[in-house]
Amino acid sequence: MIRERLVGCPDQEARSTKHAIFYTYFVDVRRSLLVSLVFVLLAASLARGADRVLVCYGDSITAGLGLEDGQSYPDALRQMLNAEGYHYTVLNRGTSGATTKDAVDDLPSILALHPKVVIVEFGGNDGLRGLPLDQTSHNLDQILTSLQAAHIRVLLAGITLPPNYGPDYIKSFQQVYRTMASRHHVAFVPMIYKDLINVPGTIQPDGIHPTAKGSQILAKTLLPVLKPLLVK
């Protein structure tokens, strides 16, 4: 009996060892597969985000004139989109002092970025300089036509002018945006400043440009109109 038990022990130990080796191998393989799957999903997610470009195309309001780096409305918008699971590369292509004519001239550089969506925020400098409204209208028409011809989704952001420009000119100026939005059937925010008017601390001392707080509000104003143009 003792001898039989002694003879039987090595076989039992061998079976146990084989089982342990197999189990360890199985666990290691499963862990490797899970890790690989995670990396594949992560890479796919990053790839989706890499070819999803959203361009904020505008003048000094977009550029963030007078603000520190990271305080413009495109920066705030990027953070909000990421928080809601929209993985886009948000590019700030704002130029201080730019008119709608400048925007037409710079369009090739925007198209070269192959964006999925473009927020167009131009016209304020046209109005402040008293440029002919038919010129502003023509330029915006060119911008929207070119973007749509490239199958780019567009959000048009309008602006108004200070009261001293007179009610008739201001009304005609605002109508330009409404006409363009209707003609091209684009997403539209008639007045980008609508949610920060009379809110303390949202406009810089120049009376025109948003503060960091104001930029946050601009991003919030645009977000609900922008989201239907995006995909997760």
Sequence spans of domains, the chain: 1-49, 51-229
Could you list the active site residues? Answer: 60, 206, 209
pLDDT of residue 192: 97
Order across the sheet with 187-189: list the strands: 89-94, 53-58, 117-121, 153-157, 187-189
pLDDT of residue 29: 45
Q: Which residues contact 225 (CB under 8 A, 6 or more apart)?
A: 155, 187, 188, 189
Instruction: Let me know if domain 51-229 sits in CATH 3.40.50.1110.
Output: yes
Q: Which residues contact 179 (CB under 8 A, 6 or more apart)?
A: 137
* Mean pLDDT in consecutive groups of 10 residues from the start of the chain, 232 residues: 43 54 49 45 47 96 97 98 97 98 98 98 97 97 98 98 95 98 98 95 96 98 98 94
pLDDT of residue 32: 47
| pTM (2 d.p.) | 0.80
pLDDT of residue 10: 52
pLDDT of residue 51: 80
pLDDT of residue 4: 42
Nearest CA to 159 among 80, 228, 58?
58
Count of alpha carbons within 13 Å of 61, Cβ hemisphere only? 27
